[in-house]
Amino acid sequence: MPQDDTVRLLEQIRYALDQAAIVAVTDQRGIITYVNDQFCAISKYSREELLGQDHRIINSGHHPKDFIRGLWRTIAQGQVWRGELKNRAKDGSIYWVDTTIVPLLSADGKPYQYLAIRSDITHRKAVEQQLADQAALAQLGQLATVVAHEVRNPLAGVKGSLQVLRSRPAIDPDDKLVIDAMISRLDVLNNKVEDILRFARPRSPVLDSVDVRPVIIDAMASAEAAAGGINGGIRVQESTAVVRADREMLRAVLLNLLLNACQSGSSDPIEVLVSEHAGTCAIDIIDHGTGFGDTDPEQLFQAFHTTKKSGTGLGLAIVRRLVSLQGGTIVLLPREGGGAVARLTLPCAPPAS
């Protein structure tokens, strides 16, 4: 083949590859020497920002060091590496790429550059994760139901029997106090079982158009009653929105978030702000407390993670479960100047026809 034709063919292959994939070339040290437009688009970095850097710029920190070392060992030996990588874009968002790294070898068989061809599998990964989560939750739900029955049935027998013994006319007053304490412990135990059931097996939401303000006011009154009065009180903004939600679930979520805010260790009022943007309603519950320190706020949503002495560590996990059942999101953000913001978003209700 004449050399001109070979060059043209290579150009065409490169054009086709750029259309099909996310492409990068690095030198043997891993310094990026070429990226195509797709690489820039998915990583949200400009070409100028990427060239001369190594791939640590998009490292998400997800993969263990051994995994990355294995990758390098493979390609440094001149072998092709294939795998799935989780990367972080410039704006902090996460994307997954199915990756093939091909070492390009010099005449002496040593890699002098690496060609990385990737395709975006973020959506597939999200679906896989969702399915895995659902399967795990379904199993947990079944487990919780069985455990709840196995625990509550004897609990009912013990509590009832204690109540009978307590009602005996000849009972010693001191013994009566002990029995009262036993009964109250059994109630605590039962509440923990209830919490586990609420997390593992919530009922299906009944979605309706719900005006958030009355629900916030209602949850606020319950929070004040439960906390026995709140130091700085709760300030709710005038604005409101109509969302698509399950009223009772929304109330439970707000109550939980307000009670959390009450325990933030501040005497400043808790603020509740309602805003609406592009079909989504955001409810911010803001405290001026101690915030979360070094803790990653996402960890606080993990089941059985607790920072409190009492409690099952299921409060925020239940909140997230109930919110996602209603098609919403919940995140905790640090408040500028100290404290925390719990941001709940829910889809706005379609306008009444």
Partner 1 sequence: MMPSLRCGKVPTTRAKLPARVLIIDDEVLVRWSLSTGLRLAGFDTVTASSSAEALTVARQAPHPDIVLLDSRLYGSDLAVLLEDLRLAAPLCRFVILTTSRHEMPVPPWNGITVITKPFDLVDVVRVVRANLAPACAV
Contact, 342 vs 202, CB < 8 A?
A: no
CB of 204 to partner 1, least distance (A): 10
CA distance 178 to 166: 10
Q: Is residue 197 a contact residue for partner 1 (CB under 8 A)?
A: yes
CB of 253 to partner 1, least distance (A): 19
For residue 91, the SS3 value is: coil
Q: Is residue 190 a contact residue for partner 1 (CB under 8 A)?
A: yes
Select 4 or 174, whichever has its Cβ closest to partner 1: 174
Residue 154: enclosing H or E segment and its boundaries?
helix 122-166
Within residues 125-184, the interface with partner 1 by CB under 8 A covers: 145, 148-149, 152-161, 163-164, 166-167
Q: Beta strands 94-105 and 111-120: pairing type?
A: antiparallel
DSSP state of 351: P
- In terms of Cα–Cα distance, which of 256, 250, 257 is closest to 325? 250
Q: Is residue 118 a contact residue for partner 1 (CB under 8 A)?
A: no
CB of 183 to partner 1, least distance (A): 9
Q: 334: number of CA atoms within 13 Å, CB side?
A: 10
CB of 203 to partner 1, least distance (A): 6
Applying CB under 8 A, the site for partner 1 has a residue count of: 23
CB of 176 to partner 1, least distance (A): 10
- In terms of Cα–Cα distance, which of 300, 284, 298 is closest to 336? 284
Q: Which pairs count as long-range contacts for 74-81, CB under 8 Å and 24+ apart, including other chains?
A: 75/101, 75/103, 75/111, 75/114, 76/103, 76/111, 78/103, 78/105, 78/109, 78/110, 78/111, 79/103
Measured between alpha carbons, how far is residue 274 from residues 92, 212, 280, 283 in Å? Answer: 26, 8, 11, 5
CB of 197 to partner 1, least distance (A): 7
- In terms of Cα–Cα distance, which of 51, 20, 27, 24 is closest to 35? 24
Residue 12 CB-density burial (10 A; 0-12 exposed, 13-18 middle, 19+ buried): exposed
CA distance 257 to 215: 13
Q: Is residue 89 a contact residue for partner 1 (CB under 8 A)?
A: no
CB of 172 to partner 1, least distance (A): 16
Select 3 or 153, whichever has its Cβ closest to partner 1: 153
Q: Is residue 267 a contact residue for partner 1 (CB under 8 A)?
A: no
Select 94 or 156, whichever has its Cβ closest to partner 1: 156
Select 59 or 190, whichever has its Cβ closest to partner 1: 190
φ, ψ for residue 125, nearest 5 deg: -60, -40
Q: Which of 44, 86, 88, 201 binds partner 1 (CB under 8 A)?
A: 201
- Residue span binding partner 1 (CB under 8 A) among the ranges 13-21, 39-47, 99-107, 196-204: 196-204
For residue 238, the SS3 value is: coil
Residue 298 CB-density burial (10 A; 0-12 exposed, 13-18 middle, 19+ buried): exposed
Select 157 or 311, whichever has its Cβ closest to partner 1: 157
CB of 254 to partner 1, least distance (A): 22
CB of 150 to partner 1, least distance (A): 9
Binding site for partner 1 (CB under 8 A): 145, 148-149, 152-161, 163-164, 166-167, 186-187, 190, 197, 201, 203
